[in-house]
Amino acid sequence: MSIKFTIIIPCYNAEMWIKTCIMSALNQTYENVEVIFVDNESTDNSFEIAKEIQGTHPHLIVDSAPNLYKYSWEEPVEKALSRSSGEYFTILGADDYVSNEYVEKIVKIISTNPDKIKLLQTPIIGVRGGTGQHTGLIKHSYRNLQEFKTLLFNTCPVTTPSVVYSKELHDKGIIRWDSQNYLGAVDYDLYFNLADHDCFIYPYPAWIGYYYRWHEEQATWGMHRETTNYDEIIKEFWKNKWKQN
């Protein structure tokens, strides 16, 4: 039986990009895939656009979740996971898009060693706003969990939008986001937590189809404008925890 795969699209005010995003998820060549769109109290027409697409693609799941934490996708992602039936999932940014063979390539990678590959990241290609201009490849590499842990204290060694997760790890409580304490920096904390549980994010070296859109309104820049340095707080917490262990 083929792996069932879930694409989760959390969305907050992405009306300029959301149709491209959703359609890229719906047009996958891999058949055993579900797409779940969850709006995070957008004030623009994002939700209406998703509902319109659902009218012609009834297998698209459309839902909503309260917006409790700035720059975080925890609420819509958790809502999507409560409805998902996939064995693996990925979180596609509402302003990003993927190639048609993206999920098919992911499943092929996982299928080479499904007992070992529970987490996966791949390189991403940056795209400048609505121009379609590519800004270059972003990728990370490391050989083992210890090297990954060392890198974590220097910078985030993960292309967050590309990460593929085993749903089993979420069901066990290993994948969790602490938005109440870290807002949009929760993914950085998540990677420390995964490493703490000896969970290895396999760094696949080749680009397989993720396009990451750079624009002024994205949450990345919002977190950079925060006066609290959440990354340093996260580093200090895990430095102390691992020192005690």
Q: What is the DSSP string of 38-49?
A: EE---SSSHHHH
pTM (2 d.p.): 0.95
Helices 186-196 & 145-152, crossing angle to 10 degrees? 150
What b-and-e string marks burial along 123-136, b requiring 16 or more CB atoms within 10 Å of the CB?
bbbebebeeeeeee
Q: What is the H or E stretch that residue 81 is in?
A: helix 74-83
Task: Dig out the tokens for 111 from the structure.
Answer: 């299928």
If phi > 0 it is left, if psi is from -120 to 50 it is alpha, else beta; for residue 158 that is beta
Tens digit of each residue's pLDDT (9 = 90 or more) over 205-240: 999 999 999 977 766 655 567 778 999 999 999 999
Q: Rounded mean pLDDT of the chain? A: 94
The residue type of 226 is E
**Each residue's pLDDT tens digit, 22-32:** 999 999 999 99
pLDDT band at 71 (very low <50, low <70, confident <90, very high): confident
pLDDT in tens, 5-63: 999 999 999 999 999 999 999 999 999 999 999 999 999 999 999 999 999 999 999 99
The CB density around residue 242, as the number of other CB atoms within 10 Å, is: 13
Q: State percent of the chain over pLDDT 70.
A: 96
